[in-house]
Amino acid sequence: MSVDESSSLHQAIPIDRIKYDDRGLVPAIVQDYLDGTVLMMAWMNRESLQKTLATGETWFWSRSRQEFWHKGATSGHIQHVRDLRYDCDSDALLVSVEQIGDIACHTGERSCFHQIAATTVAPPADTLSDLYQTICDRRDHPREGSYTQTLFAGGDNKILKKIGEEAVEVVMACKDDRPQEIAGEAADLFYHTLVALAHHHVSIRDVYRELQKRRK
């Protein structure tokens, strides 16, 4: 972690303003910095928050063991802090991280929040990521009557033809300054581009990483 990054985190969180409970703890919600998936929730005290700010990696306080807990110290699944903020009441933290290994839960799941009615279900991410996962599922488990499946069956010729058509539709809608149509045509373009990504086995997370580099 660079000096500038460490300084930025310290400036983002004024430790003295955080409201800890009567045990000296504050809840910290951890989310993926790329797609917003909630990965876990743990507790920090003043010292573990200081360690997090100083190292750029998450440190928590274990209530059961009554000791500091450096996330990933044993498993290797450490969390690089990309952003850290506190809520309007200063009594909860939101930590955006780059999760090494893409596993935050001790069970081996990506997120600790993976259970619905005793069934393992991946937690929701942003809309594009969720749609991309559905598209990949159609690619790997074809369903009769699925439009997405017909695109995969047609290969690059069909998929790329649709991208070209939808790009033109976006241009025309913008040219005519029709906001509702622009939104609809852009959605069509995004969707068909996601199909192309899935067809070529390019992860949407790789696209997000490229976009992160352009946030200037």
CA distances from 186 to 163, 199, 207 (A): 11, 20, 17
Tell me the residue type at 205. R
DSSP 73-110: TTTS--EEEEEEEE-TTSS-EEEEEEEGGG--STTS-S
pLDDT value of position 97 = 98
Q: Are 59 and 70 in contact (CB under 8 A)?
A: yes
pLDDT value of position 3 = 45
Q: Is the dihedral of CA 139, 143, 144, 145 positive or negative?
A: negative
The residue to which tokens 């074809």 are assigned? 142
SS3 58: coil
Q: Is the dihedral of CA 87, 116, 111, 105 positive or negative?
A: positive
Between CA 138 and CA 9 the distance in angstroms is 41
Q: Is the dihedral of CA 116, 146, 204, 167 positive or negative?
A: negative
User: Which residues of the chain are modeled with pLDDT < 50?
Assistant: 3
pTM of the predicted model as reported, rounded to 2 decimal places:
0.85
pLDDT value of position 130 = 96
CA distances from 34 to 1, 12, 69, 182, 208 (A): 19, 19, 24, 25, 6
Per-residue pLDDT of 149-193, as tens digits, reads 999 999 999 999 999 999 999 999 999 999 999 999 999 999 999
pLDDT value of position 8 = 65
